[in-house]
Amino acid sequence: IIFGGGTGNPFFTTDTAGVLRALEIEADLMIKATKVDGLYDKDPEKYDDAKFIKSSTYGEILEKDYKVMDLAAIALAKSNNLKLKIVSLFKQGAILNAVNGDDEGTVIH
């Protein structure tokens, strides 16, 4: 199932809306397709030495203040043990690869 857009309510980001919808349908995995191909230790568009992170935890995301999603979305996903995969919106086949369980993007648990 693919959801696009927000909730239509003010103060809710599309990240939070995505987590809410994933939890409502009891999804095993939420795939966030975005402008980068996964999680990095710093913004890869600004820093050439940004390091790709293949796997992380919500605790580490919060501790290191990685800007992968807004805090409300992270807290909601963490408290409900929702697995998240971050992939590139622009790489052909990335979303399908993530759906099929291929080694694509970054997984957060």
Write down the domain spans for the chain: 14-108
| Spatial contact of 99 and 85, defined as CB atoms under 8 Å apart | no
Query: pTM to 2 decimals?
Result: 0.85
Q: How confident is the model at residue 6 (pLDDT cuts 50, 70, 90)?
A: low
Placement of tokens 């820093």 in the chain: 47
Q: Hey, what are 31's tokens?
A: 């795939």
Q: Which of 12-16, 20-24, 68-72 has the highest mean pLDDT?
A: 20-24
Homologous superfamily of domain range 14-108:
Acetylglutamate kinase-like (3.40.1160.10)
Q: Hey, what are 61's tokens?
A: 């995301």
Q: List the Cα angle 87/77/15 in 5-degree steps.
A: 55
Residue 37 has pLDDT above 90, yes or no: yes
10: Cα separation from own chain's centroid: 21
